[in-house]
Every structure is written in structure tokens, then in C-alpha cells.
Amino acid sequence: MSLLLLKDDILLQLITYLSPLEALHLSLTTREIYPLAILQVPTVVQCFTTAKLAKVLSYMLADIPNRARRLRDFEITRGALQIELVPLVGALFQQAVNLRRVSIDPLADFIEHDPRIGEAISALARLESLEVYEMHEDEAIAVVKQLCSSPRRLFLSDLERDDAFPLIFSILPSFTRLQHLELSSFGIEGCTSGPLTSPIYMPSVRYLRIFSSVVPWISTSIRFGNGGWRRFLPHCIAYLLCVCGSLRRPYLPSTPVAKGMSDDMRRQKLPRLFVELFPSLRYIAYACEMWDASNERLDGDDAGKRFTWWRITGSGPERKLTEISWWQGECVRWFLLNSDFESIENMDWDDGEIPDRA
């Protein structure tokens, strides 16, 4: 029996059992099957230039039904930003309802010229990963706050305001599937925002990275000893905390402990502080050097070697901090990023061995 004799709804159901590559091969067999099979083939688009964005918009918004619905991964950078094209970007986001990953830079500028972009991103129902740059406008913050999805990965950047951390940590608990969290360029020098008054619960978070940011709980805890945000994140299962960038700067010039502290002193004092802040923390990666960490993302041997790593064992007041090699730390990072949540939960963090990178 020929496939062409089947009704479209039955054929569509059969095609859903094919892998993307198998669906692509099938789509090339006949003209009649192509529009059905191609829907099973995901589209990944990266737009770094205006010319590339214009071509993508022309193709995706052509008079072919459901073409934009195939889009699964859409990355657009400031190099592609052109005001005349923004309304078309808004139209594409409205049609690309099956997106799994979105990376947009700068979000605030795109939303300023077409609010539909923010509304469409918030409405995505299957979003797994969101990278947002330039969140400094309220409209951009609202995109994250109103997300219908519960993404597994969030990268948020450029929220340089006094209440940056209280604001973002008031939003994050609603993302119950969040596993990977990166915050860049958060807060401002001389932050005076008061502490949150209720605990934050993020039990699924396995990887937390903060860089190029002014972190208020660091200065508060150093200055007051028993203050800061240690009580706000008691249930955050951040097995790995990576910190770099502006931790090199003293946050409060009047803080005796922070003022004039050398890099060696920070390596000695800050890891112990993080142990107290995050009761479930098992590994720390810390770099004093100032460099463009946002581009390296801890990928590659050179980036890994910039960090000093510690392993944390035990519980309660008996927790012990032990320095480990950078390559052991990289094995930890890969294990956390590539293992399922059950494997991580069942890991014997005190006596178990982290498998080497394959």
C-alpha cells in the first residue's frame, strides 16, 4: 500500500515516530509528502548579521503554511539589530510557537520597537532554554516574570539596578524545572537594597554561576558575619557554584574585611563564606581574574584552568572544604550538566567518585 493513499492526519501521526533525519529523508521522496514530513524536521537559526536576519525572515515568513512552526532554536544578536526589520522579527516570534531555545541580545531594544516580541516569548509553552541580554527595562523583566514555560536553563544579563538580586530571586522559584542558572552583570556598586523577608526554594537547581556582578550577600555577610542572604537560599540545591569577575572589587569601602583584600585572601575567605551561604553546596569554582567570562562560559581547558576548585564534604558544622585540581573540577561540571536529576540526587557526594569526561 502506498503512503500517498493514506489520509493526511494518519500520515502525520506516522511521521511523528520518525527521527528528524528520517523525516528529512522522507520529505525528499515526493512533492506530496514534503509539506507533512518537513514539519518533523527542527530548524536552528543563528542571526549575527543584518543580512542573515533579513534572509531568515524572508524565508520563514514566506507564504508557506506552518514554516515558522518548525523553528526550535532561534538566536539573534545585536549585530543583526536593524529597526526596519524588528516588526518582522515580532511576526516571526508570533508564529514560531514551538521554540525550545531563545537567545536574544539586546532584549530591551527589540521590545522597545515591537512589544509583540516580549509577549510571544512569554507565551512559549515548550521553552527549555532562555538567554536574555539587557534586562534593564521593566518590559524586559516582565518577559521572564510572565513566562508560561518552566525552562531548564536561564542565562540573564545586564540587570544593573539596586534591587537586581531581590527582584530576580523573587521570580525564580516559579521555575520548578530550572537546573542551570547563570547571572551576569547584576547589581550596582554600593547596593543598598534590603534583604528579602521570605525563603527561596529552588530544589531543582544543580548549576549556579554568577559573574561580572556586584553580589550584595557577599559584602553583607563579610561585614556583619551573621547577616546577608544565607537564610534566603537554604533549600537551593546548587551543587556547583561558579563565581568570577567583579568579586575582585571590594563592595563596601568601609568593610574592614573586604578593604584591601588580596586575591590570596579572597581565595581563603570567600569559599568558606559560600559553604555557609549554601548548606547543600558540594563544589565551588572561583576565579579572581577579571576577563570576559561571558564569552568563555567555562568551556575549554584554558577557561577551566582559570578557576580554583574546592570540594565540600560532610554536613552541618562538620563540613570540610578541600581544594581539588582544575581537571577534577571540569569532570564535576560535565557530570552535573550531562546527568539526569535522579543520578545527581543519588550521588554519594562524600565518598563517591565523579566519572571522568568521556
Question: Regarding predicted confidence, which is higher, 79 or 200?
Answer: 79
Per the structure, the complete domain to which residue 124 belongs is given by 49-149
The domain boundary, picked from 129, 149, 169, lies at 149
* Cis before 195 (ω within 30): no
Cα–Cα distance, 143 to 131 (Å, whole number)? 12
User: Is 216 inside a domain boundary?
Assistant: yes
User: 212 and 283 share a domain?
Assistant: yes
- State mean pLDDT over 63-67: 71
**With 50 as the cut, is the pLDDT of residue 64 above it?**
yes
Q: State the pLDDT at residue 143.
A: 94
Q: State the pLDDT at residue 128.
A: 94
User: 109 and 249 share a domain?
Assistant: no
Q: State the pLDDT at residue 341.
A: 67
Question: Regarding predicted confidence, which is higher, 297 or 266?
Answer: 266
User: 213 and 333 share a domain?
Assistant: yes
User: Is 171 inside a domain boundary?
Assistant: no
Show the CA angle centred on residue 284, arms to residues 278 and 285, nearest 5°. Answer: 145
What total number of domains does the chain contain? 3
Q: State the pLDDT at residue 107.
A: 93
**With 60 as the cut, is the pLDDT of residue 115 above it?**
yes
User: 262 and 328 share a domain?
Assistant: yes
Range among 1-5, 291-295, 313-317 rated most confident: 313-317
- In the predicted model, what is the mean pLDDT of the chain? 75
Q: State the pLDDT at residue 257.
A: 38
Helix axes 138-145, 164-171, angle to 10 degrees: 30
Question: Regarding predicted confidence, which is higher, 13 or 236?
Answer: 13
Whether the CB-CB separation of 261 and 269 falls below 8 Å is answered with yes
